[in-house]
């Protein structure tokens, strides 16, 4: 099975313009993500997909593979598709992994865990989740929660704490934090990018709800590894502090 890893990276960001080029302990964000992703043994190839010359030239500068994509894409999923089409001129890929460009310490084993889901021929889309234990995180709308069925298929994603426990005498079920790492069969990626926005997606501002509303099953693999995402400039200090703690 040939698997392509793509890191969407755009310069424009409401909360953190130029985030891919932000320096973290001496190394840019995008280079850290790229080098971590390269350690994943499941990936056949890996590339950054950007719409900005500054990011393009920077990735070229550290020896990374990068493709230029349209600035008109609304989502990272659409950017992944365009990059996949460009790269497929030289190779044919069975699966595309959408790697978040704002997780500089991403664990390559998480990418490999996601890739394993596609050993099951019925897996069309896969993502990761981790058990949530911090009560504050459960009520943080920036932390997306997910509930699954017995077949490890997503039932729903929400910014609200789910599930709601009506009977307080019952032990609460595990609450899972959704980690924004996706993988899709290539043909399915083509189909997803043709879908129009849906009511649940608009209500929660979560693209994956568009897929569920259109009947696409999403396999959820569970991981024990936490991720440190950089959403705003202040998050860089948290990541640098963690890096120092490893020395």
At 157-204, the pLDDT tens digits run 999 999 888 888 888 778 899 998 999 999 999 999 999 999 999 999
Question: Can you give the pLDDT at residue 232?
Answer: 85
Residue 30, CA distances (Å) to 70, 139, 196 in order: 19, 30, 30
CA-closest candidate to residue 97, choices 46, 35, 154? 46
DSSP string, 120-150: STT-SEEEEEEEE--HHHHT-TTS-EEEE-T
For residues 200 and 232, the model is more confident at 200
pLDDT tens column, 52-81: 999 999 999 999 999 999 999 989 999 999
pTM for the model: 0.93
- Burial label for 199, CB within 10 Å (0-12, 13-18, 19+), is exposed
User: CA–CA separation, 23 vs 3, rounded Å?
Assistant: 29
Question: Can you give the pLDDT at residue 34?
Answer: 98
Confidence of residue 15 (pLDDT cuts 50, 70, 90): confident
Question: Can you give the pLDDT at residue 80?
Answer: 96
Contacts of 103 (CB under 8 A, 6+ apart): 33, 227, 228, 229, 230
% the chain with pLDDT above 90: 76
The answer, yes or no, to whether residue 236 has pLDDT greater than 90, is yes
User: CA–CA separation, 88 vs 183, rounded Å?
Assistant: 16
Domains of the chain: 3-229 (3.90.550.10)
Beta-carbon count within 10 A of 227 CB? 19
pLDDT tens column, 115-144: 999 999 999 999 999 998 877 788 888 889
Mean pLDDT of the chain: 93
Confidence of residue 98 (pLDDT cuts 50, 70, 90): very high
On whether the CB atoms of residues 235 and 207 are closer than 8 A, the answer is: no
HSE value, Cβ hemisphere, 13 Å, CA-based, for 234: 1
């Amino acid at each position: 099975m040939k698997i392509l890893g793509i890191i969407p990276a755009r310069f424009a960001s409401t909360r953190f313009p130029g985030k891919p080029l932000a320096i973290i302990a001496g190394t840019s964000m995008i280079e850290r993500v790229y080098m971590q992703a390269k350690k994943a043994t499941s990936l056949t190839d890996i590339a950054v997909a950007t719409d900005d010359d500054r990011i393009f030239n920077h990735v070229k500068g550290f020896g990374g593979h990068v493709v230029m994509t349209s600035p008109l894409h609304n989502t990272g999923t659409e950017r992944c598709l365009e990059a996949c089409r460009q790269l497929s001129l030289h190779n044919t890929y069975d699966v595309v992994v959408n790697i978040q460009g704002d997780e500089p310490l991403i664990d390559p084993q998480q990418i490999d865990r996601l890739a394993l889901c596609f050993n099951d021929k019925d897996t069309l889309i896969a993502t990761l989740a981790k058990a949530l234990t911090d009560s504050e995180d459960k009520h943080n709308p920036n932390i997306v929660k997910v509930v699954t069925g017995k077949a490890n298929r997503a039932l729903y994603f929400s910014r609200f704490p789910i599930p709601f426990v009506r009977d307080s005498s019952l032990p609460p079920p595990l609450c899972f934090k959704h980690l924004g790492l996706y993988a899709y069969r290539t043909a399915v990626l083509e189909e997803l990018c043709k879908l129009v926005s849906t009511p649940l997606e608009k209500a929660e501002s979560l693209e994956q709800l568009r897929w569920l509303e259109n009947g696409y099953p999403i396999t959820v693999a569970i991981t024990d590894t936490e991720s440190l995402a950089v959403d705003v400039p202040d998050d860089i200090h948290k990541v640098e502090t963690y890096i120092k703690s490893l020395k």
